[in-house]
Amino acid sequence: MSKTLSCFKAYDVRGRVPDVLNAPLAHALGRAVVEVLGARHVVLGRDARLSGPALRDALADGLRQAGANVTDIGLCGTEEIYYAAANRPFDAGVMITGSHNPADENGFKLVRGGAIPVSGDSGLFALRDRVAELLADDARPPEGDAAPSALHGDSFRAEYVRWLLDYSGAGQSASAPGRRPLKIVADAGNGCAGLVLQGLAKNLPFDFTCLHMEPDGSFPNGVPNPLLPERRAATAAAVREAGADMGIAWDGDFDRCFFYDGDGNFIEGYYCIGLLAQELLRRAPGGKVVHDTRVYWNTREVVLAAGGQPVMGKTGHAFMKERMRAEDAVYGGEMSAHHYFRDFAYCDSGMLPWLLTAALLQRTGRPLAELVAERMDAYPCSGEINRRVQDAPALMRLVHDNYAPQAVHEDSIDGVNLEFADWRFNLRMSNTEPLLRLNVETRGNLPLLEDKTAELLHLLEERGGAVPA
């Protein structure tokens, strides 16, 4: 496969600009969306990356050359494209975003009408093959003959903001007696979250401290990826300084949000799944909740205790959405902070999780740290640990063969997934990067967690040649 076409991943297109992603590829992709998916009316949006406008122009030209009408909603979050595709008569939606990746990268996330994801087997690889043919023919982007037809951004966003407020109930729940308004620190990381937060904040009875709200694709305060420990310090410090009840940070296209408790401590996304599952099951008793394979003991216990039905799904937004649709699940969560909602066309949102959590804090008067502390003690986890490797399949076989004989349960839904009496681990290949990802959890045993994590990393590094990512 050529360097250019290697940017087609399992559920999106992603790569460095301009050596991998560039105007010719974007133009070819636009044509392919029409020719392969049969799209005739396509909605486009982009995050704040500096390469976004040029890629948007080339993509729109390709779409129009192939006969599609194009609506451009401009700077937005991925979930705004989902909302448009689910609620307006579009045949497809394309979000131009590099999400949390470095500033010199960008990408495309694609959905069909109804916000149904386009992944490898459901059209993305067919798009890749058609793009390859078009690039081989040396098709050149023509000069655009007109600007894309526009859907007025402010009025569209206002509609979306109203839906978020109505669904979450965040502005409607009465505070616990005698409690002051919630104090919330919000860090947009110079991505696009601030564009929506502005509309939400003026309709919410909360006291906001806002950081890095201005979209800036040069990312002057660092790449918007709160999973990186070095990107958490500013948010945590602001929470402590403000005496806030909660901190929130988003990645560049705000399809994920990350939580900090009132002491500025970062909360692993794993424990937020259980919290949100309880809230969604309160609304839909007996419903199904889809979780990923990486860590799930806590989620399953919480869901069962709340009267729900836990269902395992494969990691990745396209796979999770597909499983949720098949199960008609009310909610789905990944430990990487992707949260999916049936009432949001089974799509992931970075706005609904914090709004629902704020409504919960407002209603109960309980601190966020208190809501998750018991679960963190019951099922401590390693967090996701990444290692760069030369031969991922061989290394996964090595780990499997070393541990499988002692396992009490094994499945292969997504990588090596082995369970023992008091601990378990998942080792899987990244869908988007040349990495192995390790997650370990135990039943209330922190020393065992530390021992087994170190043991697995030693095997990966000493016998497999893995190096920190």
Catalytic residues: 99
CA distance 275 to 291: 13
Q: Name the helix (H) or strand (E) containing 359.
A: helix 352-364
The owner of tokens 């499945």 is 411
- Residue 199 near residue 161 (C-beta atoms within 8 A): yes
Question: What DSSP string runs through 391-420?
Answer: -HHHHHHHHHHHHGGG-SEEE-SSSEEEE-
- Residue 298 near residue 271 (C-beta atoms within 8 A): yes
- Residue 45 near residue 80 (C-beta atoms within 8 A): yes
The owner of tokens 């990691």 is 315
Q: What are the start-end ranges of the H helices in 89-152?
A: 124-136
DSSP structure class, residue 350: S
Q: Name the helix (H) or strand (E) containing 368.
A: helix 368-378
E strands, 268-329, are: 288-291, 309-312
CB under 8 Å to 30, separation ≥6 — which residues? 58, 59, 60, 61, 62, 63, 64, 65, 66, 68
